[in-house]
Structure 1
Amino acid sequence: MNEGSGDHLPRHELPAEFGDLRAQDDASHTDEPAMLARFARPRTETRTTLAIVSDPHVSTAKEETWKVFHRTERRLRAAVTDIEARDVDGVVFAGDLTEDGRPADFELVADVLSDLRVPFVAVPGNHDVPKDFDDHETPPISDFQADFTPGELPFHERIGGVDVLGLNSASNPDGSLDDCHGGEVSPTQLDWLDNTLPETETPIVVSHHNMAGLADRTDADPAILHSPLGDDEEFTETLARHDAALHLSGHVHLPAVTENRGVRGAVVPALCSFPQAYTLLEVGPDGTTLRIVPVADREGVAESYRLAQSHSARSRGVSNVVAEQLADLPLVDERAPREAHTGDFGKAKTPLARLD
């Protein structure tokens, strides 16, 4: 299948509002990508830019589905090329690097990431870890740690002026999963967070699975959303107790922002599926800004939308929510004037508390 093809699929036109986000083959890096969200915190005196990449789902064998498997290598390579052309301090991968943990897919990911000249770290997603029902041999989590982390999980990595705290929300304590989509932060990792957060200056906590509250903050039918962290209350309480302002995740293949007890949860879009994008996270003295960076050309974005619309009821629902979220950016802007600030999130119409 050639780039942008898919004539055998039902015709589903991209929403007109999505036009400003489409990347062009000759796109210049001089134009700032669209703002996804802007927060008053975290702040740091050392300006730091991180590329946040989630859900590339790289596959060496599969094609199509709403994850556009036949483009996954190309999209990851495009993201790496685009990131290298920008002045970033590091890259954080928020999980699901592979289609489903096959060794060949991990090898391809490692090969692509070898082109990165800036530091990178990763947390595993549910598709990266061994599962009880795998029909193939998925490498143990120790291999993931050796290849994609500073050497262990959880980890604390200082990048620029930011403390990145990476968690494994994808594995049960015994290292395997009996449910494909669920996730939690183990008691051992919660203890680690409790002990590590006081040692940080500007913490950003990363796990593959998201905080609770997406259904309340979007127009999404809860049936199309994966379950959030199973121990979300205890996890969020730990972050709030140490004044950790931001949690990053992927997993659900749509951009969104949540809030609980003063902790912001930013869910970043997927690299493999509509809109096939990564996120720039910029932290400085004035706060934190997230920007969305598509890596496909216009025809490629249209293909991913058509596949999502035709693959399943769930993928159609997710792509509709993605289009709705992106039609009214930024999702929140805490640095806008108070009288102009709404912070509304879809049907809930609930403003985020300001963190001045």
Structure 2
Amino acid sequence: MTHPSSITWVHIGDLHMDEANDWQSRNRLAAIVAEINAHIGDAADFVYLPGDNANHATAEQYRVIADTLASLRLPYRVIPGDHDFELGDLAHYDAAFAEANRPEVEVIAGHRCIFLDIVSAGAGGPDFRLTMHHRNRLLEELARAEAERQTPVVFMHAYPGDLAADGEDIARIFADARVAFVDTGHTHYNELLNDGRVVYGATRSTGEIEEGGGKPGFSIVTLHGRVPSWRFKKTGSDWPFVQIVAPADIRLVTRPAEATQVPRPGEVEIVAKLFGGTTQPVLLSVDDGIAQPMLAVSGTALWSLRITLDAGLHRVAASVGTDRDMVEILVRGEADIPRRGVPIAPGRDLHSIGAWPEHGIAGTQLGPNKNGKHW
């Protein structure tokens, strides 16, 4: 069976690196780097840092970040947040990270990754805006993705709904270009949005955490072709770790007419990705039925199994060792494909999917820009 190209990245949330708390984020980052090196390896393509890297944008804070990342075996990609722009420019940020680590665009496995700066056009703080350069470049890269039949993915510090200007225009540009996923920082909490056209993700801050008892971790994001999957992992929790990557969970469906997102009744291929070594097979169960072993896809970290599913909503679980992932997959015939209207207020967090405990989302929005304390 031929599978679509997959891209996977590890998202380490806003570091807010600061000596004022005895470099707490340094220790947390070092622990995450050690786990990635030991267990993820080349099952991921890169590590992503979504901005607010240095809490006060000082050269010393950036030095500590760069030194801690030096042992990371995967490449990393970084974008700026408002804290990186605290001094009114990105000079220390640019000096700390080589250009290879802060590209504007990169194509990986048929996915065009577009990295945006939404801070340096503003007046500082959360005055998020796109420069004309970045807006024009965004349009150019999305056009290239369409011309070359690539899946576009966007990385930016905050949701379009957080932009001080043109937020709805940007979100509609994403929707019209069929952007598969937009990965952000800024919230300090885990969250997924689905505005009916585009899925947006945000991952718990590494340096300033209120949700989850203050425990740090990271998310793993995979696009299997155009199908998004997202799951959070607490630092120090057990390995191996498994993630169902196709078909889409019903919460993340944006293209209901596509059988990769809403499969048709009959034989359906379930695909999972395994992170961490094990001699055990990945086991698959449907609607709490008897678990069956999945088959490893040679030369990849993927496992798959073809099963028969009737029309309706099904609970599909993949497990290995002590870990278990569970998604809900909607199966519909061609006469009953779900309908979608024109998106209203796209790119805003009113489209949050809410709590999803199995994937590490509390749904409480405990961050300084919403329901959290001020750090």
TM-score, normalised to structure 2, is: 0.57
Pair 162,285 (structure 1): closer, same or farther in 2 beyond 3 Å: closer
Superposed displacement of residue 264, structure 1: 1.7
> 1:83 aligned to 2:83?
no
5 Å matches for 1:145-160? 145=94, 147-148=96-97, 150=99, 155-160=104-109
What is the aligned partner in structure 2 of residue 266 from structure 1?
201
Q: Which of 251, 256, 264 pairs up with 2:186?
A: 251
Cα-to-partner distance string for 1:74-103 (whole Å, 9 max, x where unaligned): 111111111222032111111111112011
Cα distance in 1 between the residues matched to 2:226 and 2:169: 30
Pair 167,286 (structure 1): closer, same or farther in 2 beyond 3 Å: closer
Partner SS for 2:34: helix
Q: Which of 125, 133, 147 pairs up with 1:180?
A: 125
Superposed displacement of residue 151, structure 1: 5.4
5 Å matches for 1:18-167? 45-59=4-18, 61-63=19-21, 70-85=23-38, 86=40, 87-131=43-87, 140-145=89-94, 147-148=96-97, 150=99, 155-167=104-116
Superposed displacement of residue 331, structure 1: 9.5
Pair 102,260 (structure 1): closer, same or farther in 2 beyond 3 Å: same
5 Å matches for 1:286-305? 287-295=227-235
What is the aligned partner in structure 1 of residue 168 from structure 2?
233
Superposed displacement of residue 182, structure 1: 2.6
Pair 130,331 (structure 1): closer, same or farther in 2 beyond 3 Å: farther
Superposed displacement of residue 124, structure 1: 0.4
Partner SS for 1:253: coil
Moved over 6 A (4+): none
Cα distance in 1 between the residues matched to 2:222 and 2:75: 16
For structure 2, which runs of at least 5 residues remain unmatched after alignment?
A: 239-248, 254-260, 263-310, 315-327, 331-350, 356-375
8 Å contact from structure 2 (residues 104, 114) kept in 1: yes
Q: Which has the larger radius of gyration?
A: 2
Superposed displacement of residue 47, structure 1: 2.5
Partner SS for 2:20: coil
Superposed displacement of residue 130, structure 1: 3.8
What is the aligned partner in structure 2 of residue 276 from structure 1?
216
For structure 1, which runs of at least 5 residues remain unmatched after alignment?
A: 1-43, 64-68, 133-139, 213-226, 299-329, 348-356
Partner SS for 2:82: coil
8 Å contact from structure 2 (residues 180, 228) kept in 1: no
Cα distance in 2 between the residues matched to 1:250 and 1:57: 11
Superposed displacement of residue 344, structure 1: 8.0
Aligned amino acid, residue 287 of structure 1: V
Pair 232,344 (structure 1): closer, same or farther in 2 beyond 3 Å: closer
Cα-to-partner distance string for 1:247-303 (whole Å, 9 max, x where unaligned): 1101011112223361221122212223422111122247221110222679xxxxx
Partner SS for 1:127: helix
Aligned-residue Cα RMSD (Å) equals 3.1
Aligned amino acid, residue 263 of structure 1: V
> 1:195 aligned to 2:140?
yes
> 1:345 aligned to 2:303?
no
Superposed displacement of residue 129, structure 1: 1.5
Cα distance in 2 between the residues matched to 1:149 and 1:159: 19
Superposed displacement of residue 229, structure 1: 5.5
8 Å contact from structure 2 (residues 119, 128) kept in 1: yes
**Count of aligned pairs between the two proteins:** 242
Q: Hey, which of these two has a bigger chunk of strand by percent?
A: 2
Q: Hey, which of these two has a bigger chunk of helix by percent?
A: 1
The alignment-based identity, stated in percent, is 19
Pair 185,259 (structure 1): closer, same or farther in 2 beyond 3 Å: farther
Aligned amino acid, residue 142 of structure 2: L
8 Å contact from structure 2 (residues 29, 206) kept in 1: yes
Cα distance in 2 between the residues matched to 1:55 and 1:331: 28
The structure with higher relative contact order (CA 8 Å, sep 6+) is: 1
Pair 241,145 (structure 1): closer, same or farther in 2 beyond 3 Å: farther
Q: Which of 156, 160, 177 pairs up with 1:207?
A: 156
Partner SS for 1:271: coil
Deviates more, 1:254-263 or 1:189-198: 254-263
8 Å contact from structure 2 (residues 77, 103) kept in 1: no
